[in-house]
Amino acid sequence: MRGVRSSVAWAPLLVAVVFAAPAAADDSQVPSADVTPEVLCVPNDPALAELSGLAAAGGRLFATPDAGADERIVELDSDCAVLQRLSAPADPYDVEDMSIGPDGRLWLADLGDNTRSRQTVALISVDPDSGTGNLYRLRYLDGPQDAETLLVSQQGVPVIVTKSLFGPSGIYRPAGNRTTAELESPGPTDLERIGTLALGPTDTPGGPIPGASSSMITGGAVSEDGTVAAVRTYTDVYLFHAPDRDISAALSSGPDLRIAVAGEPQGEAIAFTSDGDLLTASEAASEFAVQPPIQILRGVTDLFVADAPEGAGDEERSTAVLPVVGGVVVAVAALAVAAVVTLRRRGR
């Protein structure tokens, strides 16, 4: 994420802001999964100090940094050592996530827009062997949005979740439910809003903005069989069961389980492995900090019945999982304003 780094000066909270509009959800109604993160390995490549996206497939692990001096995709071995670097076929502005499509191609999510000023954002396809690919520009029908989360369904439909500090985030997909194979290059293809998602707050420690980190959505992933989606905040991972493989509907209906990932300074990346485990990763707290480890949450897809019939679980999943809390005093607003007074931005 461009903008929030350890150089931020945390000023005292002076004022509370009262919102009559919807606020964050009550996470006490999302059951916690009994999964403990374990250290997989620790990246030591300087470019990954701003690690913002992970993708895993066929025993291979790829990582992408946030936009910076070195924007190449990095393939890592099981010890997080660099195997190769791939340059994106198009120069990105602010890559915030990465996914694997059903065709095995990597998809870079060039979605970052802190100031909500970009007229188009983009997806960039990358062949993991040759590095070749294409640029696909996207345009929000309801105006610019800031986003850090991309999920690609088993059918190939890209789903984007925006990053909202106040109220629910938007869920978007290409108009007409187009798949990645149906996107036009260079585009743009229109993005339509098809739902909302609100997560947090929780008491899980971590993240760059105290009081708000547990509600800001920073990454997403879909299991290899397409029946489980994961969306994360800086501090927690939320799981969504999609037995019919409709990721858009699963996200709109709300999460089934939550897993705390405590202590990541700026957790932004998640990826499913072929075995159904989930990997999480974080940016470093500063340019001089030790790189946080890539962690593994084992057996995540086993938390759901793999052979559930189509539509199973719909009775249990309800839009009431995430009740709207209105008229609540939200102290996060003033904290965020005071905190982000020294944002470090890298324009082009």
Q: Are 170 and 196 in contact (CB under 8 A)?
A: yes
Q: Which of 314, 116, 321, 313 is nearest to 199 (CA)?
A: 321
For the stretch 76-115, pLDDT in tens is 999 999 999 999 899 999 999 999 999 899 999 999 999 9
Query: Going from the N-terminus, what domains does the chain have, and what CATH number goes with each?
Result: 17-342 (2.120.10)
For position 71, what pLDDT does the model report?
80
pLDDT of 206 reads: 94
What pLDDT, on a 0 to 100 scale, did the predictor assign at position 128? 95
**Residue 49 has which token pair?**
């100090």
Half-sphere exposure of 141 toward its Cβ, with a 13 Å CA cutoff? Answer: 13
Q: 241: how many CB neighbours lie within 10 A of its CB?
A: 23
pLDDT tens, position by position, 264-295: 999 999 999 999 999 999 999 776 678 999 99
The pLDDT of residue 68:
63
pLDDT of 176: 95
Residue numbers in the chain where pLDDT is lower than 70? 1-28, 67-69, 287-288, 305-348
Question: Which residue shows structure tokens 């996207």?
Answer: 138
Mean pLDDT over the full length of the chain: 83
Q: How far is the C-alpha of 15 from the C-alpha of 96, rounded, in Å? A: 31
- Count Cα atoms within 13 angstroms, Cβ side, for 130: 8
**Contact (Cβ atoms closer than 8 angstroms) between residue 283 and residue 52:** yes
Report d(CA 133, CA 131) in Å as an integer. 7
Q: How far apart are the C-alpha atoms of 147 and 158, rounded to whole Å? A: 13
What is the model's pTM?
0.83
The Cα angle at residue 217 between residues 188 and 254, in degrees rounded to 5 = 95
pLDDT at 289: 77
